[in-house]
């Protein structure tokens, strides 16, 4: 598990979810984590975002199948836009959460010295039936997007519980 080192220049806890193109897994996690934070009454305590390891879809919205699957569960991902993760994100976010081990490797290589403690693997925050990686649904059918949503719901609940145990959230 990672430990929080709340950024001294911000009063909010920053959480960044990262996947390959920022159009399926990481925006799903961003939307679900926002919903979990809102349901917990902690809206004003977090800065939540998502990003890509690659520049394939910068400026584009999430995949239409991602948006549709999320909408069925009450999440609106349509306004989100893909962006690429940068070295500056390690100063801006307390948690940089990789959706799979490939992203974890890329983030570990990108992190400036002393920032590695901010990086974690998403499914390390939740029981996942032995899975370590959130599977990429992009090349599959609709069931893949539902699987991602199921894993993301569990992972976001676990991540929020971890943060609530370890971070100063105040009131």
Residues labelled as active-site residues:
19, 25, 136
- Contact (Cβ atoms closer than 8 angstroms) between residue 157 and residue 123: no
Length of the chain (residues): 171
Which residues have CB under 8 Å from 126's CB, separation 6+? 151, 154, 155, 157, 158, 159
Could you give the angle at the alpha carbon of 4 between the alpha carbons of 109 and 168, nearest 5°? 160
**Sheet of strand 95-98, all strands in order from the earlier edge strand to the far edge:** 46-52, 13-19, 95-98, 119-121
CA–CA dist 69, 55 (Å, integer) = 24
- DSSP line for 80-114: ----B--TTHHHH-SEEEESSHHHHHHHHHHSPTT
């Amino acid at each position: 598990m990672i430990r929080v080192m709340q950024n001294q220049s911000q009063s909010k806890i920053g959480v960044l979810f990262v996947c390959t193109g920022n159009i399926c897994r990481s925006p799903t996690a961003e939307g679900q984590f926002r919903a979990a934070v809102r349901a917990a009454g902690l809206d004003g305590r977090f800065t939540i975002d998502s990003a890509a390891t690659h520049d394939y879809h910068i400026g584009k919205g999430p995949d239409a199948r991602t948006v549709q699957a999320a909408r069925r569960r009450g999440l609106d991902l349509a306004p989100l836009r893909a962006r690429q993760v940068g070295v500056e994100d390690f100063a801006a976010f307390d948690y940089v959460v990789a959706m799979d081990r490939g992203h974890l490797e890329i983030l570990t290589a990108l992190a400036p010295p002393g920032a590695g403690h901010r990086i974690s693997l998403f499914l390390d925050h939740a029981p996942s039936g032995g899975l370590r990686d959130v599977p990429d649904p992009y090349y599959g059918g609709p069931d893949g997007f539902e699987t991602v949503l199921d894993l993301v719901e569990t992972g976001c609940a676990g991540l929020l519980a971890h943060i609530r145990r370890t971070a100063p959230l105040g009131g």
